[in-house]
Amino acid sequence: MPISDSSFKSAAVTGGTGAIGKAISRQLASNGYSVTLFSRDEKKSQKSVKDIVSATGNEQVDYQLVDLSRLVSIQDLRCRWSGRLDILINNAGITPKERKETPEGIELQFATNVLGYFWMIQEFKDLLIEFSPSRIINVASYWAGGLDLNDLEFEQRPYSNGAAYRQSKQADRMLTVAFADRLKQDNVMVNACHPGDVNSTLSNNLGFGGHQTPDQGAETPVWLATSPAVKNVTGQYFERKQQVHCPYGDDKQKVESLFQICSQYADEADI
């Protein structure tokens, strides 16, 4: 594996077994992309691939197992990956009601929702540069805020899954700006979006239902990944396929501080 026939443009979707990720993957497969779900549960992955192949008739759909909360697992995935990559969609997310940690001792929402995005871009950016023009989409949320650079892991503040989630989505939007600045010269476009309000494990844990279908939630990420209308746009935030000003990108010093802190996690994990 993989998987990618080099004649197909290749897209990877993290959390491709979830509500929105599966719909994103199916829509990309419908559009003729070779799609790989980066997911952690083998049974769910097999079922998702089967469903997408049968719905689209596109046989170029597969999965790779990875725990996106752990750098070591992402690095292992990168070693296994050969072939092209044109689109990376960071979409996986988690909202545990209790504070949990990874085996490395990192708070789980920060590890999955923020460092998972950061590490995926760091590990796969060489390929995205090689196959540029290419695109990275960070699935974030309009529900974002409360980021505390001094307490990213909720060690000093009381943990609530809503507060940790809002912080993580603010961080995703800030890191979009940081990576866009770094990758623009290599023709890798990096944008963030709110997908939509969709009924899912993630939203249910936060106490929300969701009034949009997974397919509606997938529309903006897929459009950002594929539309010629945004081929030269980078570092921006979108809702309903519309660019929306994101205040979290304005404070460049804070954006850079977050980027440096995330980089240090990689350094520490490598030691």
Ligand X SMILES: NC(=O)c1ccc[n+]([C@@H]2O[C@H](COP(=O)([O-])OP(=O)(O)OC[C@H]3O[C@@H](n4cnc5c(N)ncnc54)[C@H](OP(=O)(O)O)[C@@H]3O)[C@@H](O)[C@H]2O)c1
Interaction between residue 21 and ligand X (CB under 6 A): yes
Q: Which of 69, 161, 191, 234 binds ligand X (CB under 6 A)?
A: 69
Which tokens belong to 96?
Answer: 């545990």
Strands (E) across 15-139 are located at 34-39, 61-65, 87-90, 134-139
Q: Which of 3, 12, 13, 19 binds ligand X (CB under 6 A)?
A: 19
Examine the residue annotation and report whether 117 is marked as an active-site residue of this protein: no
65 φ/ψ angles, rounded to the nearest 5 degrees: -85, 135
- From residue 86, alpha-carbon distances to 3, 112, 151 in Å are 14, 23, 35
Q: Which of 144, 149, 176 is nearest to 163 (CA)?
A: 144
Q: How far apart (Å, rounded) are the C-alpha atoms in residues 126 and 84? A: 11
Indicate the residue among 19 and 188 with the shorter CB distance to ligand X. 19
# of chain residues touching ligand X (CB under 6 A): 31
Indicate the residue among 66 and 180 with the shorter CB distance to ligand X. 66
Q: What DSSP element (H or E) covers 13?
A: strand 10-14
CB of 212 to ligand X, least distance (A): 7
Q: 94-123 mask for ligand X (x: CB under 6 A)?
A: x-----------------x-----------
Interaction between residue 17 and ligand X (CB under 6 A): yes
Contacts to ligand X by CB under 6 A = 15, 17-21, 39-41, 44, 66-69, 91-94, 112, 139, 141, 169, 194-195, 197-198, 200-203, 210
Give the residue numbers marked as catalytic.
Answer: 165
